[in-house]
């Protein structure tokens, strides 16, 4: 079994927690999690890849075991979260790396790619969206908040933060719910229940519109730099639809797109299949 180390890095005064495995001289792979999770979502994937890659999986600021600074000490935007992760990669010596992006990890990792294309060796997108056609109607309440950031529209989004909503994200579209461990979703709910976490997450729901505004920039990056790209997608995801995966090939004709018969948190049920796809993809 791969040895996994649990570390923290000081990033301009903020503590960023991360998981690390693999030989330091192996090809580097950065794993970026999504909402409402943390690096623990990669707990099954890391051991399957650590013999081949030097893997680091940080918890984004405000998530998991990383610091969750108060909103008057840190403005929770995707630009700012990406700034912290960019500095984090520099501090730990990740100068050239492949990046696995999921959900919130996609706008975070793609910002890094746009800013420093020379650092990115490949992109694995697991339900990490960069195209408007990938957004389902499940985004409608959040989009209403973008158009009218009223308190009523903000409060309407609190339903997304409830334990039953987390469970639904984990199990919707999964053929056999018994295959989904309760551990990940319960840990996510523990983090969501912390004092102040709700307002932070509502801030990020509001700022997600900045990611959609950047989609043309991300797409231009795909066209211009044509990074090796693997889209491995839970096809029954209620938030990010299969057309969002297929769209990668429009701007990057060599992109590989694979669909899996599962939901949003595809690693919960298909870590082995995804690991095999990554090994084959990155061995070229």
Phi-psi sector, 173: left (phi>0), alpha (psi -120 to 50), beta: left
Coil, strand or helix at 243: helix
CA 62 remoteness from chain centre: 14
Q: What is the CA radius of gyration of the chain?
A: 17
Exposure of 150 in the CB half-sphere (CA atoms within 13 A): 7
Q: Which of 33, 40, 172, 264 is catalytic?
A: 264
Coil, strand or helix at 24: coil
Coil, strand or helix at 28: strand
Strand 256-260 to 4-11 pairing = unpaired
User: What are residue 98's DSSP bridge partners?
Assistant: 29, 122
264 an active-site residue? yes
What is the end-to-end Cα distance of the chain in Å, rounded?
Answer: 25
Find all residues with CB under 8 Å of 116, minimum gap 6, and list them: 86
- Give the helix ranges, DSSP H, for the chain: 46-49, 78-91, 105-115, 140-147, 151-156, 163-171, 182-192, 197-225, 242-246, 248-251, 267-282
Give the active site residues. Answer: 264
């Amino acid at each position: 079994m791969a040895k996994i180390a649990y570390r923290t890095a000081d990033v301009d005064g903020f503590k960023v927690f991360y998981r690390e495995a693999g030989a330091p001289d192996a090809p580097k792979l950065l794993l970026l999690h999504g909402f409402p999770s943390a690096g623990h979502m990669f707990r099954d994937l890391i051991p399957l890849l650590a013999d081949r890659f030097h893997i680091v999986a940080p918890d984004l600021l405000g998530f998991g075991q990383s610091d969750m600074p108060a909103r008057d000490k840190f403005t929770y935007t995707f630009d700012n979260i990406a700034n912290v992760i960019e500095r984090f990669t520099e501090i730990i010596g990740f100068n050239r790396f492949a990046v696995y992006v999921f959900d919130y990890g996609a706008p975070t990792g793609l910002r890094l790619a746009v800013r420093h294309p020379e650092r990115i060796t490949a992109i694995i997108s697991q339900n990490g969206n960069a195209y408007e056609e990938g957004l389902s109607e499940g985004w409608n309440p959040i989009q209403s908040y973008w158009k009218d950031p009223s308190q009523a529209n903000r409060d309407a989004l609190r339903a997304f933060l409830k334990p039953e909503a987390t469970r639904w994200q984990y199990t919707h579209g999964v053929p056999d719910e018994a295959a989904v461990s309760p551990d990940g979703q319960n840990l996510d709910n523990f983090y969501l229940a912390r004092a102040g976490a709700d307002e932070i997450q509502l801030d990020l729901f509001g700022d997600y519109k900045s990611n959609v505004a950047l989609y043309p920039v991300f797409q231009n990056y795909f066209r211009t730099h044509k990074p090796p790209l693997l889209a491995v997608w839970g096809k029954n995801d209620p938030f990010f639809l299969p057309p969002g995966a297929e769209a990668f090939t429009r701007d990057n004709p060599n992109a590989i797109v694979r669909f899996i018969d599962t939901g949003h948190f595809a690693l919960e049920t298909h870590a082995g299949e995804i690991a095999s796809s990554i090994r084959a993809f990155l061995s070229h």
